[in-house]
Structure 1
Amino acid sequence: MIRTILATALLALMNTITPALSQDVDCDNAETQFDMNHCSGLEFKEADNALNEAWSSARAAMKSIDKNNQEFEPDEPSAADNLLKAQRAWIDYRNGQCAAEAAQYAGGSIQPLIRNTCLAGMTKKRTDELQQMIVDR
């Protein structure tokens, strides 16, 4: 019971302190490992948000293609289903790849930076791929 109360109090304190610290970080001039880790997390979050937007557009485009292709391949998996299958596989690949890259830094303060940088880079590439699918149609 006491552990639960202490853990809850610690979590509440961390939630109050972390945003305050985050506001003081200049990501263009990050110097400490904490700041670099924090900024790389923000970069990944931004990349992930862009990916989600591109995903919505690509998924809608595939559904539109499916509508037009109903008469040609009625027994085949739809473009939207294939895209979903590919996206799920890609997420699993990205997460595994970045975990593998970061594993060599286990226990080190740089590990979050390595992982986040990998996640952001791969996510940006995937966003470009999804956007290209929309442009090419």
Structure 2
Amino acid sequence: MNNTIIVTAALSFATLCTMAQASDQEVDCDNAETQFEMNHCSGLEFDAADKALNKTWSKIRAAVKTIDENNKEYAPYEPSAADNLLKAQRAWIDYRDGQCAAEAAQYAGGTIQPLIRSTCLTDMTKKRTKELQEMIVDR
């Protein structure tokens, strides 16, 4: 029994060392082969999608505030478009995070779980970015 514990500990240590070494090296995401590399690259892809969403959000929010200012005389007592957009965005983030957590939950304990979650987050974030971009029509 002691040998089993020692072997398990040694394998765990070797796995951790391999993962640490891989994280210190540049991963070629176009040719990711290991689950660690695929998880890492999908995380990077989500980070990029999230940055694009935030950049789009800033532009759309500013545009909507300008529209609110221009329309103030027509709807002085209505909640502003900017307030409604913020409410919608917060609800969307909650929905996205819950949906992707639910999709990834099927793989709990598996090494693919981070990939499933990141891929879902990336896909939904890209779709939301496109929705926001299409929301404002050049006037």
TM over 0.5: yes
Q: Distance in 2 between matches of 1:22 and 1:88?
A: 35
Task: Report what 1:25 is aligned to.
Answer: 27
TM-score (norm. length: structure 2)? 0.82
Q: What does the per-residue CA deviation read over 1:55-96, in whole Å, with 9 as the maximum and x for residues that have no partner?
A: 000100100110111001111100100000000000000000
Q: Counterparts in 2 of 1:65-80, with a 5 A limit? A: 65-80=67-82
User: Structure 2 vs 1, CA of residues 82 and 114 (structure 1 numbering), >3 Å: closer, same or farther?
Assistant: same
SS of structure 2 residue aligned to 1:135: coil
Q: Distance in 1 between matches of 2:27 and 2:95?
A: 31
Q: Which amino acid aligns with 2:104?
A: A
Q: Which amino acid aligns with 1:108?
A: G
List structure 1 runs of 4+ shifted beyond 3 angstroms: 17-20
Q: Distance in 1 between matches of 2:60 and 2:34?
A: 38
Percent identity among equivalent residues?
76
Task: Report what 1:125 is aligned to.
Answer: 127
Q: Distance in 2 between matches of 1:42 and 1:22?
A: 15
Task: Report what 2:88 is aligned to.
Answer: 86
Q: Which amino acid aligns with 2:79?
A: P
Contact 1:25–1:35 (8 Å) recurs in 2: yes
> What is the Cα-based RMSD across aligned positions, in Å?
1.9
Q: Which amino acid aligns with 1:21?
A: S
The answer as to 2:43 corresponding to 1:41 is yes
Q: Which amino acid aligns with 1:41?
A: G
Q: Report the count of equivalent residues.
A: 122
Q: Unmatched 5+ residue regions in structure 2?
A: 1-15
Contact 1:57–1:134 (8 Å) recurs in 2: no
Bigger radius of gyration: 2
SS of structure 1 residue aligned to 2:136: helix
